């Protein structure tokens, strides 16, 4: 649903919504990476309900950095996507920690470029969730 809304925002050039979508896509990408790593571990292991509950908690508490490295090491994502995700992670951290000093947050052109790139990464990750 977020991707569909982002597509709408980009198509209709709704610059007033660019920043909100950028922030939401940062979060979506992080959560998708964590979910993909959890789903792969779940697929590989035959666990009972209690073990699955413990594993779920473990993956929920992973940092974005750790989750992306686990995704790379287990072959869920390739090196190029990992590099893109690492840039997303760094940007997200910079945005959160230095929100007040970001001058380009009012620049629709820069935000649109960032939003298009984030939507592409999110779409690539979403495609992986549909694999059997």
DSSP result, 4-68: HHHHHHHHTT-GGGHHHHHHHHHHHHHHHHHHHHHHHHHHH----HHHHHHHHHHHHT--HHHHH
The answer to whether residue 116 scores a pLDDT higher than 80 is yes
The answer to whether residue 103 scores a pLDDT higher than 70 is no
Q: How confident is the model at residue 102 (pLDDT cuts 50, 70, 90)?
A: low
Q: Name the domain count of the chain.
A: 1
Q: Which domain holds residue 57?
A: 2-129
The answer to whether residue 78 scores a pLDDT higher than 70 is yes
Q: What is the pLDDT of residues 36-54, one digit of tens each?
A: 998 898 888 888 889 888 8
Q: How confident is the model at residue 101 (pLDDT cuts 50, 70, 90)?
A: low
Report percent pLDDT > 70 for the chain.
89
- When comparing pLDDT for 97 and 112, which is higher? 112
């Amino acid at each position: 649903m977020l991707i569909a809304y982002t597509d709408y925002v980009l198509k209709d050039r709704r610059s007033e919504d660019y920043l909100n979508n950028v922030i939401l896509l940062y979060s979506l990408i992080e959560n998708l990476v964590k979910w993909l790593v959890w789903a792969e571990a779940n697929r590989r292991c035959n666990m009972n309900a209690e073990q699955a509950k413990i594993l779920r908690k473990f993956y929920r508490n992973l940092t974005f950095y750790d989750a992306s490295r686990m995704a790379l090491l287990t072959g869920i994502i390739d090196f190029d996507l990992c590099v893109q995700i690492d840039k997303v992670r760094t940007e997200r951290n910079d945005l959160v920690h230095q929100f007040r000093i970001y001058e380009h947050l009012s620049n629709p052109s820069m935000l649109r470029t960032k939003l298009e790139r984030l939507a592409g990464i999110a779409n690539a990750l979403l495609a992986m969730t549909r694999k059997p």
